[in-house]
Structure 1
Amino acid sequence: MAIERSIEELTIAQAHKAFLSGEFTAEDLVSAYLDRIQHLDQSGPVLNSLISVSQSALEEARRLDRELAETGRLTGPLHGVPVVVKDQIETAGLPTTFGSIASGDYQPTQDATAIARLRDAGAIILGKTTLPDFATSWFSTSSRSGVTKNPYDLARDPGGSSSGTAAAVAANLSLVGVGEDTGGSIRLPASFCGLVGLRVTPGLISRAGMSSLVKPQDTSGPMTRTVEDAVRLLDVMVGYDAADDYTAAAVIAGQKEPYASALQEATLTGKRIGVLRQAFGDGSDPDGVKVNKTIEQALAALRGAGAELIDITIDNLDDQVGFTSLYTTRSQADMNEFVGARPDAGIPSMRFLIETKQYHEKLDLLEAIVAGPEQPTDDPHYVERLLAQTAFQRQVIGIMAQNRLDAVAFPDAKLPAPTREDIFADRWTCLTYPTNTVIASQLLFPAITIPAGQTADGLPVGLELMAVPYGERALLALAAAAEATLQGRKAPAL
């Protein structure tokens, strides 16, 4: 049957309540999202956020509906929840393209660990979403899918590299989504599309079956319309996995209680938030001013709700971020290791893509990666970069400890979402775009973006909150309290 209510801005809790009450079924919900995909993604505004759509989603939903009818209980914490997944993460039964035209019709035989956990919890993989080739851009430019449109302004980019997940979830084409974050690929597009985007301490979520860009920094994670829904996904995705030894981090975290229980502690009263004004937009740039104004209004609201704001400074911030970047030192080796283990994908190396010109012309980062060393140790400064990274971590943790901070706040990017015209005219490239998300990534810190509000011309702006490693529980409680105060998300008009 058709769902009588609007599914826009639907949450997992609301969907589960409807399933249990009989208001609508999982099949009804999947059908409604497939209809929106047809009318908004494949026609109408043609957002172009999905590369492929599952042909088995309706049957999976029917099976879950039968089980609910027989038992009267939901099969798991994500029963019947439609999820769109960045096409960087392998899925059985659906092609995985990595955003590359060179991947042909590659289809994995098994799910990535994170996807298997979602399915085991009752989730339904609705489709795979667009990304630039092998996640090598802040923008949506892909040799496989072209460009994806921002639902808030169709002339603008949704951000990258989790471009399609951001656009799809923002436009209510799915209940929730999964992205991947190396330098900000969850948080930047989430901020441009008015979403919550969570980057965890690397290793809490297995990366097995996910192509890497800088393996020590990589993590998949939730992209949702609410903090609560992000936490519901997180609780399913985290955990040790023998197929990814970096998940030793999940053992170290020692999380005894679900992260969802942290939301019961959500409050801003007495919370101390460091404000990193070095990461604010240029006051002489009109676009930077728009971001700054939105962020300042959000911070004022947090202060009014009981938070204490403390301005902080990180010495030599830009130099430290620049020197600790490992894209042109380590990425080629990590990417080649991944594709080399998958001969069926038909991509022997990243150099192969460059030499055969099978990549999008605007991927300057991919070009820079291949121009760099094939092995990290070929970079004479590799060890220095690693030592500098740990020194950077100690410095920022020290600043937070000295100021007794619960988190550090700053805009995810110094500018709103760029236009496609600016991207194709090279006003901005991946290597020159002023994103701040690399700060937490290169510190190996967890961070979350929440909608701070919108600029006067209706463009979403994300407020990033960054915590120390393994500080997810307190960070999520703080984010939930900030979200409740700001109520910064506004659905796009499509």
Structure 2
Amino acid sequence: MNTSTPSRHRRATRHIRAVIQILSTAMLGILLLLNITPLLAYAQSETDVTELGVVKLANALEEGKITSVEAVQEYLDRIKAYDKKIGDKPGLNAIVTLNQHALEEAAELDKERASGHIRGPLHGIPVLVKDNINTADMPTSQGNQALATYQPKQDATAVQRLKYAGAIVLGKTNMAEFAMFWDTVSSVNGRTYNPYDPTKNINGSSGGTGAAIAASLAAIGLGTESCGSITDVSSFTNLVGFRPTVGLGSMAGVDYNPLGDAIGPLALSVEDAAMLLDVLAGTDPKDPWTSEADSHKSDSYLASLKGSTLKGARIGYVIAPFGGYDYSPGPESDGIFSTTEDAISVLEAQGATVVKIPLNRSWWNKYAPQNASFWATTGHENFFVRTEATWPKGLAELTEPKDAINFGDIVKGSPKMEKTAVEWVMGDDKQPRDEAGFTAAVNARHTFAQGVDELFTSYKLDALAYPTVAAPPAKVHENPGELLDSEQFGTHCGWANFTGRPVVSVPVGFADHFPVGLSMLGSQFGDVKLLGFAYNLEQAAPHRKTPELTPSLLHTAGSTGTTASSDPSTGSDEASSGNAPFTSSSGMSPSAVALSLAAVLAAAIVLISLFVRRRKK
């Protein structure tokens, strides 16, 4: 029996409709799998956040080249691509917590901008914050497993100032457990890996911030430094790290170390660091150390850079890691010294007079004897007493007393805590501050500061320069809990920490394909002049490069438009974007490939629909 023509048409139409439904479902599935939101963000903005930083992003936002929503989405996409896994290998592991409302905040800030209201210089700019800086809307773990849900009720003053200036706190970054070590391993998040070479130490304790900013996971990041936690990390991640004069910015709501700590930026450029200091500097009634800050702070650290110069500056140069009385550099440091010597030549070419300063054993014995103690070793639990917070459920009850958080509780609630970290904090368990030891540490710092004052006076110095870290990075151990303190030599961190003077580390090249930083130490509240020196060095010889491991997601390899420069030490011109593991063989970005697939499916649906209508007619 022959089927009638109308029946065949109806059957064909049903089949075609079924095909359309299948294609529509497939297109929707592809878009959901690839996450349609970042694809739309990519499609809407041609501005790439890779290597953009704060100043350039602020300009792009003002000029309408990108929105805050688009910027946040691009950073979130980079975090998704590079933080947990990169291809089939571990990712950077820099982020502990993400702000789940970041896109909503960005949308609100975009609306404000459109209406003509600008909160401040960081309006709509995403920043990352080290996880020992209190945030009222995200936990502050101090790098500790038991404190993963420890929720402060108030923002640290630094965070308040960021938000007041319009910043979006994108998330919290990993750190060494309680900021104790020259490596970034925590029981709450594991090890953070260096984007320039994951087999080598990233340093600590602000390694999460360093890795994140080096990989452009946010425009800029905050770290804290007791001894090298900002500058050493910046040296190992090819960043500018700035530790301001102690007392220029507030430490209220930050960390628990009562001696020598400072908060500061890890940045892609000196300009970015200066812009953040404009926001952070100033007196805070909650931090008595800042009582003189308003009288010393600059009208604008960023604006002051343009008129700065190295001409006429006198800069001392030393290779004297703290404990320099017994430091003997080996041949493995030759590349570092050669690189910093090149930077010294740049300073001289810009008009500075550089004086090499020898420090003999007698100087060290006088100003930093080996039996001197520079740290307060007990009483740190007071941080939990004086901080308003919602405690993790049941934590305080793990040991006596049941109504307070002690290090005993923390250790018992942190099975992933490394044994050395356990030993260190348990020495402080339920211990009041050792007043005699605290006084001795303060006096030892004063003595060392007098020695540094003497160097500045006798040599008529404007700054003292040195390799940020005079030894190459230690190798990462297979066991992520193993700490590297006994292996990571060469830090000069005591020069700033024990004097309260400001210090800045600037990228000056590569040795054995690994970043090297030169630090400059300034005078107390001489932050303007010091940043000016750093800016002129950076401008004369830029060495900032995007890690090859974390290239642009928007563009093909070699076209990111970053601030890459040729590095003579490597013997080749290192492309800023490197080998892009997420680009297709055709050179298209993941977003472009996904959009192309969606376009093909959409076109197929349209064509089939037209065919159906034509057959009906």
Alignment TM-score > 0.5, same fold: yes
Q: Cα distance 1:420–1:240, how it changes in 2: closer, same or farther (>3 A)?
A: same
1:56 counterpart residue number = 101
CA shift, 1:138, in A, is: 1.0
2:448 counterpart residue number = 392
1:21 to 47, 63, 75: 63
1:320 to 351, 356, 368: 368
CA shift, 1:355, in A, is: 6.3
Give CA deviations for 1:383-410 in whole Å, capped at 9, x if unaligned: 4443232122122112112211110001
1:275 counterpart residue number = 317
CA contact 2:321–2:493 (8 Å) conserved in 1: no
AA partner of residue 95 (structure 1): P
1:480 counterpart residue number = 535
Q: Which moved more, 1:354-363 or 1:123-132?
A: 354-363
CA RMSD of aligned residues (A): 2.5
CA shift, 1:6, in A, is: 2.8
CA shift, 1:302, in A, is: 1.7
1:139 to 183, 188, 191: 183
Q: Cα distance 1:480–1:274, how it changes in 2: closer, same or farther (>3 A)?
A: same
TM-score (norm 1): 0.91
1:161 to 193, 202, 205: 205
CA shift, 1:61, in A, is: 0.7
1:291 to 336, 339, 343: 336
CA contact 2:234–2:266 (8 Å) conserved in 1: yes
Q: Distance in 1 between matches of 2:98 and 2:458?
A: 50
Matches within 5 A, 1:108-119: 108-119=152-163
Q: Which moved more, 1:34-43 or 1:106-115?
A: 106-115
CA shift, 1:416, in A, is: 2.5
1:433 counterpart residue number = 489
CA shift, 1:324, in A, is: 4.9
CA shift, 1:134, in A, is: 1.1
1:337 counterpart residue number = 382
Q: Cα distance 1:359–1:320, how it changes in 2: closer, same or farther (>3 A)?
A: farther
Q: Distance in 1 between matches of 2:245 and 2:415?
A: 33
2:171 to 105, 110, 127: 127
CA shift, 1:38, in A, is: 0.0
1:415 matched to 2:458? The reply is no
CA contact 2:267–2:273 (8 Å) conserved in 1: yes
CA contact 2:240–2:268 (8 Å) conserved in 1: yes
CA shift, 1:321, in A, is: 7.2
AA partner of residue 276 (structure 1): V
Q: Cα distance 1:370–1:430, how it changes in 2: closer, same or farther (>3 A)?
A: farther
1:258 counterpart residue number = 300
CA shift, 1:350, in A, is: 3.0
Give CA deviations for 1:153-189 in whole Å, capped at 9, x if unaligned: 0112211100100000001111100000111211111
1:222 to 265, 279, 300: 265
CA contact 1:340–1:349 (8 Å) conserved in 2: no
Q: Distance in 2 between matches of 1:340 and 1:264?
A: 45
CA contact 1:324–1:389 (8 Å) conserved in 2: no
Q: Distance in 2 between matches of 1:53 and 1:168?
A: 13
Q: Distance in 2 between matches of 1:284 and 1:435?
A: 12
CA contact 1:323–1:385 (8 Å) conserved in 2: no
CA contact 1:412–1:436 (8 Å) conserved in 2: yes
Q: Percent identity?
A: 34
Give CA deviations for 1:70-127 in whole Å, capped at 9, x if unaligned: 11x5331111111000000011211211110011412222211110100010100011
CA contact 1:412–1:435 (8 Å) conserved in 2: yes
CA shift, 1:351, in A, is: 4.6
CA shift, 1:325, in A, is: 4.2
CA contact 1:416–1:460 (8 Å) conserved in 2: no
CA contact 2:236–2:514 (8 Å) conserved in 1: yes
Q: Secondary structure at the match of 1:460?
A: strand
2:280 counterpart residue number = 237
2:544 counterpart residue number = 489
Q: Cα distance 1:211–1:425, how it changes in 2: closer, same or farther (>3 A)?
A: closer
Q: Secondary structure at the match of 1:421?
A: coil
CA contact 2:242–2:265 (8 Å) conserved in 1: yes
1:187 to 231, 236, 242: 231
Q: Secondary structure at the match of 2:91?
A: coil
1:77 counterpart residue number = 121
CA contact 1:133–1:359 (8 Å) conserved in 2: no
Q: Which moved more, 1:313-322 or 1:283-292?
A: 313-322
AA partner of residue 374 (structure 2): L
Structure 2 unmatched ranges of 5 or more: 1-40, 397-404, 550-617
1:41 matched to 2:83? The reply is yes
2:150 counterpart residue number = 106
TM-score (norm 2): 0.74
Larger radius of gyration: 2
Q: Distance in 2 between matches of 1:426 and 1:97?
A: 20
Structure 1 unmatched ranges of 5 or more: none
CA contact 2:182–2:484 (8 Å) conserved in 1: no
Q: Distance in 2 between matches of 1:439 and 1:276?
A: 11
Q: Cα distance 1:107–1:420, how it changes in 2: closer, same or farther (>3 A)?
A: same
AA partner of residue 248 (structure 1): S
CA contact 2:129–2:172 (8 Å) conserved in 1: yes
Q: Cα distance 1:32–1:425, how it changes in 2: closer, same or farther (>3 A)?
A: closer
CA contact 1:407–1:466 (8 Å) conserved in 2: yes
1:31 matched to 2:61? The reply is no
CA contact 2:374–2:444 (8 Å) conserved in 1: no
Q: Which moved more, 1:219-228 or 1:313-322?
A: 313-322
Q: Distance in 1 between matches of 2:374 and 2:76?
A: 40
Q: Secondary structure at the match of 1:174?
A: coil
CA shift, 1:267, in A, is: 1.5
CA shift, 1:369, in A, is: 5.7
CA contact 1:197–1:223 (8 Å) conserved in 2: yes
Q: Secondary structure at the match of 1:450?
A: strand
CA shift, 1:260, in A, is: 2.0
Q: Cα distance 1:256–1:447, how it changes in 2: closer, same or farther (>3 A)?
A: closer
Q: Cα distance 1:302–1:52, how it changes in 2: closer, same or farther (>3 A)?
A: same
Q: Cα distance 1:386–1:16, how it changes in 2: closer, same or farther (>3 A)?
A: closer
2:423 to 363, 367, 383: 367
Give CA deviations for 1:235-277 in whole Å, capped at 9, x if unaligned: 11111111111211414x5325222232123222221110012
1:4 counterpart residue number = 46
AA partner of residue 83 (structure 1): V
AA partner of residue 286 (structure 1): P
Q: Cα distance 1:17–1:234, how it changes in 2: closer, same or farther (>3 A)?
A: same
Q: Cα distance 1:338–1:289, how it changes in 2: closer, same or farther (>3 A)?
A: same
